[in-house]
């Protein structure tokens, strides 16, 4: 145990002196008719009276201790190691095609991604959309409402014409630039697309995989719909080299299962945190109340006759 203001502890000398005086003082002698008779000295009663007279000094000592701010180290708690995850979603025109149950591929991807973010509360999420170019819509943040609200307004049909292609390697490099600037925690990219990437050819997939692996950024790829099946090998190369995995989602149910699998692979880690000091007034408050009640009882008769 420690104190916030140890300088106040010198005031404990006051109740110590008060209590000592209570035991040694003689007071004013009063002669009574039976003083010269043969009576017992009443040592036990005298001891109890002196003890009762010491209770106010004890109350003062408790007040000084509370004024000094008692504290103790809090039980150590595990601190969550932050995961920085960028949701990178394809917004090319083909993502507007109907997927299942009336949802478009993009809407199904966004719904599942939003649920994934809510489930992983405590991690930092960012949102990047891409086509021929990429746009960092929301940087990695723990404020998940920023990501969820942004997903409501990002739509393939709202994108400019120059976003119509699919350049996955370019988007991954853009996400890498965002994650490299993050100061702490693990880093991962969840990329959702339905098309083959034009910039994976000629060893482009291996080149970007090496860059991401060097910076310890894991890539999880999700191929949604049917057009992207042919580019699975290239995305597999990237995900395997970075410690991630590529999934194929043929319907919304499968897409939800993919995010659950990613959650199991990108586990939350915890580390012991440094113990913090917290206020520790409870035992002193209880002792003070108990002493005050006991002293109040002694005033009913356990005292020297005032005259």
Instruction: Read off the pLDDT of residues 31-89 as tens digits, 9 standing for 90 and up.
Output: 566 555 666 666 787 888 888 889 999 999 999 999 988 888 776 555 556 688 899 99
Report residue 248 as tokens: 């194929």
pTM above 0.75, yes or no: no
Dist. CA 279–CA 290, nearest whole Å: 20
Q: How many CA atoms lie within 13 A of 208 on its CB side?
A: 27
Report residue 36 as tokens: 């010269």
- Which of 99, 94, 185 is closest to 131 using CA atoms? 94
Do 179 and 217 form a contact (C-beta atoms < 8 A)? yes
Torsions phi, psi for 100 (to 5 deg): -170, 155
Output the pLDDT for position 73. 77
Q: pLDDT 10s digit of each residue in the chain, 307 long?
A: 788 888 888 999 998 998 888 888 776 556 566 555 666 666 787 888 888 889 999 999 999 999 988 888 776 555 556 688 899 998 888 888 887 667 888 888 888 888 888 877 778 888 999 988 898 888 888 887 887 777 777 877 778 877 878 889 999 999 999 898 876 778 889 998 887 787 888 888 899 999 999 998 989 888 887 544 444 568 888 999 998 888 888 777 777 788 888 877 666 555 555 557 788 889 999 999 999 999 898 888 776 665 5
DSSP for 110-129? HHHHHHHHHHTBTBEEEEEE
What residues does each domain of the chain span? 2-74+275-298, 79-271
Q: Please give the CATH number for the structural domain made up of 79-271.
A: 3.40.50.410
Q: Which residues of 294-307 are buried (b: 16+ CB within 10 A; e: fewer)?
A: ebeeeeeeeeeeee
CB neighbours of residue 10 within 10 Å: 10
């Amino acid at each position: 145990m420690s104190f916030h203001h140890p300088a106040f502890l010198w005031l404990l000398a006051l109740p110590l002196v008060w209590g000592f005086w209570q035991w040694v003082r003689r007071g004013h002698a009063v002669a009574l008719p039976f003083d010269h008779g043969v009576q017992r000295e009443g040592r036990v009663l005298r001891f109890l009276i002196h003890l009762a007279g010491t209770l106010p000094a004890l109350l003062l000592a408790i007040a000084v201790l509370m004024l000094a701010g008692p504290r103790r180290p809090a039980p150590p708690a595990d601190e969550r190691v932050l995961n920085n995850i960028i949701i990178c979603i394809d917004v090319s025109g083909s993502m507007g095609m109907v997927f299942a149950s009336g949802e478009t591929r993009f809407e199904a991807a966004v719904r599942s991604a939003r649920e994934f973010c809510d489930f992983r509360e405590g991690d930092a999420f960012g949102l990047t959309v891409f086509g021929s170019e990429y746009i960092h819509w929301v940087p990695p943040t723990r404020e998940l409402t920023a990501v969820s609200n942004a997903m409501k307004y990002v739509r393939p049909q709202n994108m400019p014409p120059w976003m119509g292609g699919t350049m996955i390697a370019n988007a991954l490099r853009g996400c890498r630039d965002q994650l490299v600037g993050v100061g702490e925690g693990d880093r991962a990219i969840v990329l959702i697309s339905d098309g083959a990437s034009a910039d994976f050819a000629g060893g482009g997939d291996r080149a970007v995989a090496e860059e991401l692996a060097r910076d310890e950024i894991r890539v999880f790829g999700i191929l949604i719909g049917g057009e992207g099946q042919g580019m699975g090998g290239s995305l597999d190369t990237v995900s395997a080299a970075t410690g991630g995995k590529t999934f194929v989602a043929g319907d919304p149910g499968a897409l939800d299962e993919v995010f659950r699998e990613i959650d199991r692979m990108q586990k939350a880690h915890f580390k012991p945190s440094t113990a913090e000091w917290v206020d520790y007034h409870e035992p002193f408050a209880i002792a003070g109340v108990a002493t005050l009640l006991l002293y109040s009882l002694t005033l009913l008769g356990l005292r020297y006759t005032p005259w």
